[in-house]
DNA sequence: GTGGTCTAGACCACC
DNA sequence: GTGGTCTAGACCACA
């Protein structure tokens, strides 16, 4: 479990994003119990406090909730998860369009390029 | 001119990418003379040797060529530049599709999401 | 029955206050027989000696009286209970006004704020 | 600067409340620079990390903002401060009404009691 | 054993 | 010097 310790992005932020992805992708289903702070920290090779910080932030946004003595759980509010999924997607898309613009592709060009690439891909692989 | 000294990617690779982008985007036009190694290195706050390594690699791929006494020049082979542009774009797109897949969007979903987002954007801003 | 063992206020003081509240609120009516010291102590998860100290103090002020063989009783002097009620209320009010002052509300502002809040509340709930 | 280390309320929560009061009361005016984390921590006799946690929470709610190298500042959004003031006041009032109810005073009784007490007080002191 | 809190001490980037 | 982050290790309440 390698972490970009060198990256300028704080580890706890990376942890937050990783867990968000795991929730969105369904690795952790709504209502599921998360492993304990200590366990998650060990798996990620980070200090328990760092993992705690990440989880506290996730709790603040409502994605997970904690029960004092029994552990942390994924929210059962599916709408919230869907919303998060959309938000993250928009972020990824915005970044993508920016990269393409740097390469000289305007939005519509990007779109047609992508369309073409996906359609030819579909004919091959599926 | 901040470089990701911390990143695990070698600096000379980052330099190559930056110059490639500058060529594709037209900042350096085909046939243009590049600044001297020393000058480029200074602008990028990088050791001249590192810049030299980057330029040598660009030369190897044919994107720039050097004339012994008068300096380095951008290739005049527009096709090559176009090809590079396409290659980089495909790389960016592949990465993008990968990110979206992590979020649970299949390629076609990504495409329709993107289409929708761009079209609504066009109505607003242009 | 959690006691603020951590609080800097002695437990027996807290016990006195709790019993006073119970008398004022009518949980223990005038003339009622109090449970035994042991029983009260057990309910409160407190050492019987501590409860004894609290009851002795209540006895000293006249709120309860003991009959040698039959136990402790709440005073039948309703006026005394009323007086205590008023005293405690004034204490609560004083503290309240102090808190509001810390927030920047002068007494009259506090009063109008409170009036407004209660009246709007009455229209809704009753 | 004594802190209720014994209290069951986390210290960082108490710190948050104290600073909120200081902002509302005008001790720290909008736009003012706060003392450094280390200085505040020393004054409050707590660990800098604990103070940091409190300030981070205040920053999250928008009451203060930080500039990386020059320090932390109180928000200039006076509306936000006013809103906070109102919220805290409502909280205090609710608690107050609860206490009074425990003593057997209904809301309207509490109100008339308070009114009477304040008016008699005005005739004396002002 | 769980989450939560706190301390002590360290390193970093920025200016 | 500033804020920000991270680690290591400790204690607590709860059940």
**Residue with CA nearest C1' of nucleotide F3:** D68
What's residue C122's pLDDT?
A: 74
Q: What share of chain B is helix, strand, coil (3-state, %, to 5)?
A: 65, 5, 30
Query: Which among A93, A103, A121 has CB closest to B21?
Result: A103
Place C4 in a pLDDT band, splitting at 50, 70 and 90.
low
Average pLDDT over residues A106-113: 88
Q: Where are the beta strands (DSSP E) in C1-126?
A: 64-67, 71-74
- Chain C: partners with 3+ C-beta pairs within 8 Å: D
> Looking at beta carbons, which residues of chain B come within 8 Å of A108?
118
pLDDT digits (tens, 9 = 90+) for C111-122: 988 888 888 877
Percent of chain B past pLDDT 70, that is, above it, reads 91
The answer for B 7-46 residues in CB contact with A (under 8 A) is 7-8, 21, 24-26
Percent of the residues in chain D that have a pLDDT greater than 90, as a whole number: 62
- The CA distance from A12 to D34, in Å, is 26
CA of residue B62 relative to chain centroid, distance = 15
Rounded-to-integer distance, Cα B118 and Cα B95, Å:
19
pLDDT tier for residue D55 given thresholds of 50, 70 and 90: very high
Q: Is the per-residue pLDDT at A124 higher than 80? A: no
Spatial contact of B74 and B63, defined as CB atoms under 8 Å apart? yes
Least confident of A121-125, B33-37, C80-84, D21-25: A121-125
pLDDT digits (tens, 9 = 90+) for A35-92: 999 999 999 999 999 999 999 999 999 999 999 889 999 999 999 999 999 999 999 9
Phi, psi values for residue C67, rounded to 5°: -110, 125
Mean pLDDT of chain D: 89
Give the pLDDT of residue B59: 94
Predicted confidence (pLDDT) at residue A106 exceeds the cutoff of 90: no
Instruction: Report the protein residue whose CA lies nearest the C1' of nucleotide E3.
Output: A68
The helix or strand, by DSSP H or E, that contains position C86, with its residue range, turns out to be: helix C78-102
> Which pTM does this prediction carry?
0.84
Q: What is the pLDDT of residues B93-112, one digit of tens each?
A: 999 999 999 898 988 899 88
Asked if B60 has any chain A CB less than 8 Å from its own CB, the reply is no
Of residues A105, A98, A106, A93, the one with CA closest to residue B85: A105
Q: Which residue has the higher pLDDT, D123 or B88?
A: B88
**What local confidence, expressed as pLDDT, does residue B4 receive?**
59
Nearest to C118 by CA among D119, D93, D102: D93
Shortest-distance nucleotide from A10 CA to C1': F5
């Amino acid at each position: 479990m390698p972490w970009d310790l060198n990256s300028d992005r704080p580890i706890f932020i990376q942890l937050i994003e990783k867990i968000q992805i795991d929730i969105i992708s369904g690795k952790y289903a709504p209502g599921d119990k998360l492993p304990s702070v200590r366990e998650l920290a060990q798996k990620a090779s980070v200090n328990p406090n760092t993992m705690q910080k990440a989880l506290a932030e996730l709790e603040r946004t409502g994605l997970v909730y904690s029960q004092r003595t029994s552990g942390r759980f994924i929210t059962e509010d599916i709408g919230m998860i869907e919303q998060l999924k959309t938000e993250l997607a928009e972020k990824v898309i915005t970044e993508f369009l920016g990269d393409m613009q740097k390469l000289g592709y305007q939005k519509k060009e990007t779109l047609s390029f992508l369309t073409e690439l996906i359609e030819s891909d579909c004919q091959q692989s599926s």
